[in-house]
Structure formats: C-alpha cells, structure tokens
C-alpha cells in the first residue's frame, strides 16, 4: 500500500470519565476540532543492563523493562467553539478518557473506502497552552499522556 496524506485525520475524546467499575466511558465521543497537527504516540521502553563479569565478547547485554506509551502532542487553531475548550475541560477534571486517532482512508476501490488506521488509547490531558502572536494566528497546543498500552488497528470499511 502506498503512503497517504494526513489531511482528514480526526481525534475523538470520550465525554465521560473512565471508571474501574464500568470498564469504559458511558458518555459520547466528541471530535476535537480545529487541529492542525497531531504527533505521537511517542512510545519507549526502559533498557535494563544485565551485563556481568560473565558477559562474553565485552559487549553490554540488555533486556526490555517497563514500556511507556508516551504522549501525543496536539496543535490547533484557537476558536471559541474548537478543540481547545474540550481539552481544557478534560484537563480541569483530571480524569482518564478514551481517545481515538482516526487516520484518513488509505485506499479506495471504485470510490469506496477500503481501510483506515486508528490508534485507540486511554489517557489524561496533561497540558494546554494558548498563543496569540501579534503577527500570526491565535493557536493552542496540548498534550495527552497515555495510560496503558495503545492499540493500532487496521479496519476494513465498506
């Protein structure tokens, strides 16, 4: 499959907090609007050095420790009814939410979308910032800290 343009990517966030008793959010999902850039998740893993006096070849040996799902970074246009307001609300309530990053259709056959990719994860809004330079557009940036393992799915649509 060939690459695809990022335009049309959508970030959704649940409107309800996640609870340990419901195993999911009961509220609807909202589209975080007016986004101009979505980066991440920035996953990484701890490296545990298991080298010892018995290590052969004088090269360090490593195993993987805890994995960190990282965070996503968001940028957008600052508008009265845009994504910044939704993200500020989620930041204030300090609760985990469900998030989806839906990439645009990656292939078509006869004009019908065949597949798209989607990140699914739980996370908290860990930061929101606005910027209003005198010679450029008003904008916002935000970060979402992932909690647990994200899932990248390839979904077929008709």
Band of pLDDT at residue 4, cut at 50, 70 and 90: confident
* Closest to 73 in 3D by CA, of 4, 129, 16, 132: 129
Q: What is the pLDDT of residue 116?
A: 79
Residues 146, 151: Cα–Cα separation, whole Å: 11
Residues 12, 5: Cα–Cα separation, whole Å: 19
Query: For residue 71, how many C-alpha atoms fall within 13 Å in the half-sphere facing its CB?
Result: 10
The alpha carbons of the chain give a radius of gyration, in whole angstroms, of 20
**Average pLDDT value over all residues in the chain:** 87
Q: What is the pLDDT of residues 23-42, one digit of tens each?
A: 455 568 889 999 999 999 99
Alpha helices in the chain (DSSP H): 83-93
Q: What is the pLDDT of residue 27?
A: 66
Helix (H, G, I), strand (E, B) or coil at 45: strand
Q: What is the pLDDT of residues 80-110, one digit of tens each?
A: 887 899 899 999 998 899 999 998 876 666 6
16 CB neighbour count, 10 Å cutoff: 15
- The ranges assigned to domains in the chain are 10-20+27-44+70-156
Residues 100, 82: Cα–Cα separation, whole Å: 17
Domain 10-20+27-44+70-156 -> CATH class:
mainly beta
* Closest to 65 in 3D by CA, of 52, 43, 49: 49
Strand locations in 2-138, DSSP E? Answer: 10-14, 29-31, 35-39, 44-49, 62-68, 71-77, 97-102, 107-109, 112-131
């Amino acid at each position: 499959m060939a690459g695809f343009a990022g335009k049309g990517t959508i970030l959704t966030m649940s409107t309800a907090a996640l609870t340990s008793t419901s195993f999911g959010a009961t509220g609807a999902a909202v589209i975080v609007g007016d986004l101009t850039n979505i980066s991440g998740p920035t996953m990484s893993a701890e490296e545990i050095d298991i080298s010892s006096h018995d290590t052969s070849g004088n090269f360090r040996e490593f195993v993987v420790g805890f994995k960190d799902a990282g965070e996503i970074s968001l940028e957008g246009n600052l508008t009265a009814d845009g994504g910044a307001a939704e993200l500020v609300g989620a930041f204030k309530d300090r609760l985990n939410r469900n998030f989806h990053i839906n990439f645009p259709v990656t292939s078509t056959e006869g004009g019908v979308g065949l597949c798209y990719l989607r990140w699914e994860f739980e996370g908290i809004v860990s930061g929101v910032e606005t910027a209003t330079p005198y010679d450029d557009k008003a904008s916002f940036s935000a970060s979402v800290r992932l909690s647990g393992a994200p899932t990248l799915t390839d979904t077929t649509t008709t």
